[in-house]
Structure 1
């Protein structure tokens, strides 16, 4: 099935061309809109929304196989709208976890560099999720080149896993490793592939969220090699891997913060005492401050200077530039004043009057400015890292719904395998109480399946041969076998996860405005800081002008850090979409959240979708004058032996009325219909209309 994705030129949302809310034509090109509001804005001034590349389109072919290897690819293109099928391999999409970003300017710089690479049709970097989403042509570039581009800009990537394959090359002897390496490096999600001819070992580094070991193995075998032994290292799930490196990042920042805080405190005390603490009045006090500040600047704060240097090499400026310039200026001046005090003796004309130091020039140093500021910035980064880690919890909870293993029939035997190794056409066995591992179609057997996590319906759905079942739903009563139809990224659960990830990574219109502002914010702040230094140096009194100028110069640089500007909106989108997903509400993107405050009415598609997730007994209706509690006690006694959710609701209702259950005999569960039993010498038949008709029970209108 082919679907054409296009970008709304007004709000930037990716939508289906076939279901767009409106279309307009401008200069011979078709443009598509998510809502009538966007169409009205475009029609009023189309030139304000047109970019050189026109309307971006993305044509996706579901379950498109690549050659004979059965690899599933997601194809995409970028250009004006068209309705033809793309050639195989025309485009891929990959998500790269990025490390080292400190502000929205960092994300913008990475995004620009990725977009410049040959073969890249679209690149987006989200600061809050620390993730880059890139669509590219694998015939022109690959994940390896994209990762190298990120590193060249001064940042890193995380979350890769490694797999080693020992191959038998007798079927395809080769004197070069290059063809296989090139073949593997073009696969989606492969960061690097190397083939050692001497040891016959193929080592592949890959992104677990984009590909898996089985897909890579199939690609190797499709190329003509037979895979023997496979060794996997660090191959945890993508979200687990990302959570792990976020935890490492948080612990690293926490360690550096506490070290900086411990070393900065005595420096701050010395600076703020102004000679009032007698035992700190000795000639080498500046050297003591220097010794305490050096580890803070060159170890705890090294990341700021590395980031500033990386930005400088690319003729850019960001938050690191502000921090490095401010703390660096204070530190360098203080070091020079400590090493060469005679050169600064006349800076302010003041002398010391502390005992033993009378008449010595009073040379101010600002080690505390550098060390304390670095400690405070590290505290902010530490809290930010913790918040980022928590915002990804919604995705991890969704993935936690999936079964970890599956029982499949292989070579006539039942074997338990990781759910990642299930392939289409596998026959999967599901027993009562187990989670269904992947999507498929029932082949034999029948049961009732709890699909509330997908539909919100509180009652299990009866399944028989030919019915669809979905991964992560729970089998309640019977056992059955089904044939896997969708696995991995194609399952309904994974599509929900992808929708939430796309929503969290999307940019609301106000976020795009923040990105533009943050891009020019840093250079403006640097200019303001320089102007502040000059004004204070000229206007202040001669004995204090350098001190006042330097302190205010540093203050402007540090206070103006644009962290909140770039982090606030993406974080709000992450939290909003994540909380929505936890409660069964899928939010399509940032624009939906931004405009949600205008809602005046909510329309639900049907009753039963919004439920508590489990049935409850509300009232008891009898066909005669029978006592309500006696009737409920008899029915609940029999239903207590049933596993049906409605039976459980009846039992809970009886327990809430403190009714005593009776002895049950001859209990028999009638699959898909109800139960029959004897209670107190009376025969009971409890079930649905189908059972009543089978037993020729006259209802006399009770069902109404």
Structure 2
């Protein structure tokens, strides 16, 4: 049985993560496929005699997503963090432009209804063509900025695995196409005054801008869930001083290049870079990051020291023993990452609902529009509004993100305070705890 921690690319909502879990989990030989939307990771246990990793990656790729095998969890964390920062900057830029265009679009479209005067050149009564064309231009630019909704949502719909982007793409696309048809009729002089009041460009533009705002806030919130791990990693110094040869020549090197049996020079005020043993010198060490004990601990030759702890007042020569991923701090970070990537039992229910939520919403939207048109007796434009409304207000993302995001924030904050939680399941069971007994250090 082979186990891998994988990075999943291209997920946009809870429906995406649920679909990947179901398709991969149903493959022969797969024992466990657990996808965490907030961390954008998948824990995979499978019999590699049945399927190769390439087979599974190809199946996931067929759904429009990507799988990457990451051997080191720290590499995965740093890579995802850098990718999130880049994505946030791009999203923020697009959001600003979308909002700057959506505000005048809404003002032009709804200004008369709100009693705001419009310039004569775009007055719908005297210059209906200009009124419609300027809205068309504004919404076209907004839709271009929000093109990812269509690039992700339409292919997912064609593959019969619709997601939240599919809802937005279909809803805003329907409003845009209907309004563009009315624009053509206005330009041809067909029922001009009736058609000019039957444009829904602002619906498409404002919805894309607002949903983009929601996506930006969601991504920004997710990015903060890893702040605790970043702070833990910062406890390890970026560089270290090693002593070379009999003359003990000092050389500064990156901390990740330290090897076992290297002799390190640790000055007062420095953090110890790796786990090791004191071979010369004595000092007091602040180990509060590990033990919670506020008072520094006296250390002398042959005593063990832990990477990330703070040397207070003496010069130490330390023999490196546990380095890289084997240090105590790295193991703590790995434990926190595993806990953040794990699923609480309650998350399974949300995932199952999210899997079927989008297709059900699309069916309800179609039925709503048809019912209002054929039974309610309203015109086509009104029934279209009801169809769009049902599509755009339904989003399963909050349902799928709430639990994993809570776990990530809770376990991360706990680690900062010295409380390590093994898994999401353990965190959920902690709610039933009635008595906690601590020693003086916690």
Match of 1:289 in 2: 135
1:194 is matched with: none
Instruction: Give the SS at the match of 2:279.
Output: strand
Pairing of 1:259-270 with structure 2 (within 5 A): 259-270=97-108
Q: CA deviation at 1:465?
A: 3.6
Paired positions, count: 431
Q: Which residue of 1 aligns with 2:40?
A: 130
Report matched runs for 1:362-511 at 5 Å: 364-412=198-246, 413-511=249-347
Q: Distance in 2 between matches of 1:112 and 1:310?
A: 19
CA distance in 1, matches of 2:316, 2:11: 49
1:312 aligns with 2:157: yes
Aligned residue number for residue 209 of structure 1: 74
Q: Which has the larger radius of gyration?
A: 1
Aligned equivalent of 2:110, options 255, 272, 283? 272
Separation in 1, partners of 2:309, 2:64: 44
Structure 1 Cα separation of the partners of residues 210 and 431 of structure 2: 36
Q: 1-side partners of 2:88 and 2:396: how far apart?
A: 21
Q: Determine the C-alpha separation between the residues in 1 that align with 2:282 and 2:195.
A: 93
2:5 equivalent in structure 1: 94
What whole-Å deviation, never above 9, does each CA across 1:465-510 have from its counterpart, x for those lacking one? 4332211011223333333221111111111111111121221121
Contact residue 430 and residue 436 of structure 1 kept, 8 A: yes
Are residues 1:258 and 2:92 paired?
no
- Tell me the SS of whatever aligns to 1:414: strand
1:563 aligned residue (397, 401, 409): 397
Report the TM-score when normalising by structure 1.
Answer: 0.56
Measured in 2, the distance between the counterparts of 1:93 and 1:411 equals: 41
Q: Which stretches in structure 2 are left out of the alignment for 5+ residues?
A: none
Residue in 2 that maps onto 1:572: 406
Structure with greater helix share of residues? 2
Query: Which protein has the bigger strand share?
Result: 1
Give, in whole Å, the separation in 1 of the partners of 2:420 and 2:380: 57
- Whole-Å separation in 2 of the counterparts to 1:147 and 1:402: 35
SS in 1 for 2:128: coil
Deviation at 1:524, TM superposition (A): 0.7
Structure 1 residues 117 and 147, CA, compared in 2 at 3 Å: closer, same or farther?
A: same
Match of 2:180 among 335, 355, 369: 335
CA distance in 2, matches of 1:522, 1:329: 17
Q: Is the 8 A contact 2:17 2:36 kept in 1?
A: yes
Q: Secondary structure at the match of 2:33?
A: strand
Deviation at 1:337, TM superposition (A): 2.2
Given that 2:5 and 2:70 are in contact with CA atoms closer than 8 Å, whether structure 1 keeps it comes out as yes
1:678-698 deviation digits (Å, cap 9, x = unpaired): xxxxxxxxxxxxxxxxxxxxx
In 2: Cα distance, 1:582 partner to 1:588 partner: 14
Matched with 2:16 is 106
Q: Which moved more, 1:311-320 or 1:409-418?
A: 409-418
Match of 1:518 among 354, 365, 372: 354
Q: In 2, Cα distance between the equivalents of 1:342 and 1:428?
A: 79
- Alignment deviations for residues 178-225 of structure 1 (CA, whole Å, 9 cap, x no partner): xxxxxxxxxx747xxxxxxxxxxxxxxxx7835xxxxxxxxxxxxxxx
Q: How does 1:579-658 map to 2 (within 5 A)?
A: 579-604=413-438, 606-607=439-440, 609-610=441-442
- Return closer, same or farther for 1:595/1:94 CA change in 2, 3 Å cut-off: closer
The 1:429–1:578 alpha-carbon spacing in structure 2 relative to 1, beyond 3 Å, is: same
Q: Could you tell me whether the CA contact under 8 Å between 2:276 and 2:305 is conserved in 1?
A: yes
Note the aligned Cα RMSD (angstroms): 3.0
Secondary structure of the equivalent of 2:273?
Answer: coil
Partner of residue 80, structure 2: 242
1:338 to partner: Cα distance: 1.7
Deviates more, 1:496-505 or 1:312-321: 312-321
